[in-house]
Copies of this chain bind each other. A is one copy, B any other.
Amino acid sequence: MTRESNRIPSMVKNRKLVEERRAQIIRGAQELFMRKGFHKTTTREIARECGLSIGTMYEYIQTKEDVLYLVCDHIHSELEARLKEALSETETGRESLMKAMAQHFRVMGELSDWVLLIYQETKSLPKEARKAILEREKEITALFQEILERGIRDHTLHLDPTSVPLMAHNIMVMGQMWTFRRWALAEHYTLEEFTRRQTAWLLQECTP
């Protein structure tokens, strides 16, 4: 599930066991990183929280940064999975877009603490890992690009093809917006209102 998990070497050979223990580690660390941030969480705390000894934990990772990577990767997997739930090839592009945006905002709202985590702690990752995380981000963005393109093909969305990447990114950013600026937005709008208005705005741009 945590797709990139195999990028991180482990001392332990048994694949199944590695998978299982890392799930434990992710569960414990996620909670802690969210509450205290990456830097203020110690490896000891992570070990304790996930029920392993430090020695054992280090059999499954190499550095503390690995844990952060594991967590970020897992969150991305979750985001992507939840988004894909709402996708269907049988609908028109326009319908798909509306559903996808609604789901995207809903998920970003529900997992907002996790999303925050990704955007705030990614910079603590070593270059390679940071790149891999950006790649995931790109992939999710690509999902929206595909929907937009499908809409163009089936003539339910009228949009200059050169605007497709921009609009996909705009959608992504709208999602983040709900997690980063909720402190201000929630004073004025509910998630449903927010979704309705933003979707309407975007769709209008895609209407002849």
Interface residues of A (CB under 8 A from B): 37, 39, 119-120, 123-124, 134, 138, 141, 162-163, 165-166, 169-170, 172-174, 176-177, 180-181, 183-185, 187-189, 194, 197-198, 201, 204-205
Which of B123, B163, B204 contacts A120 (CB under 8 A)? B123
Known: A39-B124, A163-B197, A197-B163. A141 touches B184 (CB 8 A): yes
A120 to B181, CA, bound (A): 14
Residue pair B37, A123 in contact (C-beta under 8 Å) = yes
Residue pair A169, B197 in contact (C-beta under 8 Å): no
Known: A119-B120, A204-B204. 9 other contacts (CB 8 A): A37-B123, A120-B120, A134-B183, A141-B184, A163-B197, A165-B188, A166-B188, A173-B173, A173-B174
Indicate how many identical chains form the complex: 4
Q: Roughly how many angstroms separate A188 CA and B141 CA in the complex, as a whole number?
A: 14
Q: What distance in Å separates the Cβ of A171 from its nearest Cβ neighbour in chain B? A: 11
Q: How far is the CA of A201 from the CA of B201 in the complex (A)?
A: 9
Inter-chain contact A181/B189, CB cutoff 8 Å? no
Given contacts A120-B120, A204-B204, contact A184 B163 (CB under 8 A): no
